[in-house]
Amino acid sequence: MAIQGNSDFFSVGVDFVVVNVPIPYDLYINSSTHAVNDRFVRIFPQGGILALEEVMAFKAKYYQLYVLESQRDKYLKSLISLAHVPDEKKADVIKDSAIVYLSKVFDADKVFNTELLGEAISGCRESVESMVGVIKDYSIKQIQDLIGSLSFHDFYTYDHSINVSMYCISILKALKPKVDKEELASIGLAGILHDLGKIKIPTHILNNPGKLSEEEFDLIKKHPEYGKMLLLEKELKNVDVDIEVISRLVSEHHENYDGSGYPMKLAKEDIHLYARIAAIADVYDAVTTKRSYQGVLDTDEAINVLSRFSGKRFDPEIFDIFVKSLNKVVQKRFITRELPEDFDPSSPHENLPLQPVKARVIAPDIIKNEEKDFGKVSVQVKFSGLKKK
Ligand SMILES: [Fe+2]
Ligand SMILES: [Fe+2]
């Protein structure tokens, strides 16, 4: 059977093909010698069993194997079962798949419609389920290392969505060690879609790293509501995921724990747990993941800088667990730079808008409490800088 055109296929590495068990997908080669005129021919059927020697022979004979797009989910599931493939390789393949689906809605050249959104959500769910299979036991520190080893695409559109999904999965796992895979996949899917509403914001505003006008920034701030609107459209109700929960994370990930966020000014537990988790994942990824420009923070400084948001922007209990899972301790005395209180990871930054820490007036009752907590040590430190009369 020969099929023309490559949009229905994706390429796979020969090393990622399962051996000695029934193969859950058909294998194709591209027999065309012209790059513009693909001709795919099936060389091995779904359900057949390949021995290692046969796979090695494929490797020697064919430059690349292909699988039907419609069998991508089967390919991903079999990939994560392969013990000899390192997790970074698996995660990279899964990330590529997620990007294929995300691009169905984020690609500016494509005309958006709800059918495409449904396809994107179903595809992202498959990718996220596979990702959970790889990272379900990862600490947040391991997730950060893994993110650093994955291939880089387009930070604001794809990398960031996938990174936030991975952080959300590992933060929920850190909070609830006995959580099941379905719940991890649910927060992962919500996380990957958290900035979905940005497809309704003009690209020239989204990609402008300079100072935005108030109107432009107000428009960016509409993305949580736009995302919710897109998800709750009637036609999407047949998509086999919990849209209600996903839309909570999408619409509430910019709410602040102290009620100062947007769009609803929700506070504390009125903000869905997933959204409180995503708020940390969103900002942490924005300040630590390398992009095409300079100015990201290392883990220590990121933790110290973000600790200022604990109890204000972030749920303090979740932030504490986040810090512990990174094997870090907040060291306030080393904080020399800070992010402005209204720092928003949604808007592009040429450089992180860090500023020297401003002196803050400490209320007398806070000083009293500090003395109570730290006893003599605190008193010695407090007076050590005073000149003797
Ligand atoms: Fe956002
Ligand atoms: Fe974001």
pLDDT in tens, 178-204: 999 999 999 999 999 999 999 998 888
Q: Is the pLDDT of residue 365 over 80?
A: no
**Ligand 1 mean position to 7 CA, how many Å?**
31
Ligand approaching nearest to the C-alpha of 156 = 2
Residue 20: predicted pLDDT:
92
Architecture of domain 86-358: Orthogonal Bundle (1.10)
**Ligand 2 mean position to 385 CA, how many Å?**
43
Average pLDDT estimate for 264-270? 98
**Ligand 1 mean position to 230 CA, how many Å?**
15
Judged by DSSP in three states, 314 sits in: strand
**Ligand 2 mean position to 90 CA, how many Å?**
24
Q: How many CB atoms lie under 10 A from the CB of residue 133?
A: 18
Residue 292: predicted pLDDT:
52
- In order of 170, 278, 317, 328, the CA distances from 176 in angstroms are 10, 15, 13, 19
Long-range pairs for 337-341 at CB < 8 Å and ≥24 separation?
Answer: 337/301, 337/305, 338/305, 338/308, 339/287, 339/305, 339/306, 339/308, 339/309, 341/312
Residue 294: predicted pLDDT:
61
Which residue shows structure tokens 């301790």?
329
Residue 377: predicted pLDDT:
34
**Ligand 1 mean position to 29 CA, how many Å?**
41
Q: Is the pLDDT of residue 19 over 80?
A: yes
Ligand approaching nearest to the C-alpha of 220 = 1
Residue 238: predicted pLDDT:
63
Residue 207: predicted pLDDT:
78
Winning range, highest mean pLDDT, from 165-174, 290-299, 332-341, 371-380 = 165-174
Q: Is the pLDDT of residue 253 over 60?
A: yes
User: 6 falls in which pLDDT band (50, 70, 90)?
Assistant: low
Q: What is the largest CA-CA distance in the chain?
A: 95
Average pLDDT estimate for 93-114? 86
* Distance between CA atoms of residues 226 and 110, nearest Å: 18
Higher pLDDT, 5 or 228: 228
* Distance between CA atoms of residues 125 and 137, nearest Å: 19
Ligand approaching nearest to the C-alpha of 250 = 1
Q: Is the pLDDT of residue 374 over 50?
A: no
Strands 39-44, 27-30: pairing kind: antiparallel
pLDDT tens-digit readout, 277-331 = 999 999 999 999 876 556 788 899 999 999 999 999 999 999 999 999 998 888 8
**Ligand 1 mean position to 222 CA, how many Å?**
9
Q: Is the pLDDT of residue 210 over 90?
A: no
Indicate the range of 207-216, 255-264, 340-349 predicted with least confidence: 340-349
* Distance between CA atoms of residues 259 and 276, nearest Å: 12
Beta strands (DSSP E) in the chain are 2-4, 9-12, 27-30, 39-44, 65-68, 337-338, 355-356
Q: Is the pLDDT of residue 383 over 50?
A: no
β-bridge mates for residue 27, sequence order? 44
Q: Is the pLDDT of residue 120 over 50?
A: yes
By the CB criterion, residues less than 5 angstroms from ion ligand 1 are 195, 346
Q: Where are the domains of the chain?
A: 1-69, 86-358
**Ligand 1 mean position to 2 CA, how many Å?**
44
Residue 389: predicted pLDDT:
31
* Distance between CA atoms of residues 131 and 238, nearest Å: 24
**Ligand 1 mean position to 379 CA, how many Å?**
43
Q: Is the pLDDT of residue 67 over 90?
A: yes
User: 373 falls in which pLDDT band (50, 70, 90)?
Assistant: very low
Structure tokens at 24: 């859950």
By the CB criterion, residues less than 5 angstroms from ion ligand 2 are 195, 282
Residue 376: predicted pLDDT:
33
Share of the chain above pLDDT 90, in %: 58
User: 381 falls in which pLDDT band (50, 70, 90)?
Assistant: very low
Candidates 248, 297, 242; CA nearest to 269 is 248
Contacts of 359 (CB under 8 A, 6+ apart): none
Mean model confidence pLDDT for the chain: 85
| Cβ–Cβ under 8 Å, residues 171 and 141 | no
Q: Is the pLDDT of residue 352 over 50?
A: yes
Phi-psi region of 327 (alpha: psi -120 to 50; beta: other; left: phi over 0): left
* Distance between CA atoms of residues 337 and 158, nearest Å: 29
Please work out, in degrees rounded to the nearest 5, the angle formed at the alpha carbon of residue 210 by the alpha carbons of 309 and 107: 90
Which residue shows structure tokens 């929700």?
266
Edge to edge, the sheet with strand 39-44 lists 2-4, 39-44, 27-30, 65-68, 9-12
**Ligand 2 mean position to 251 CA, how many Å?**
12
Average pLDDT estimate for 344-355? 76
Q: How many CB atoms lie under 10 A from the CB of residue 177?
A: 8
Ligand approaching nearest to the C-alpha of 224 = 1
Residue 385: predicted pLDDT:
33
Provide the 8-state DSSP code for 353: -
* Distance between CA atoms of residues 147 and 166, nearest Å: 8
Residue 361: predicted pLDDT:
47
Ligand approaching nearest to the C-alpha of 197 = 1
User: 351 falls in which pLDDT band (50, 70, 90)?
Assistant: confident
Residue 134: predicted pLDDT:
96
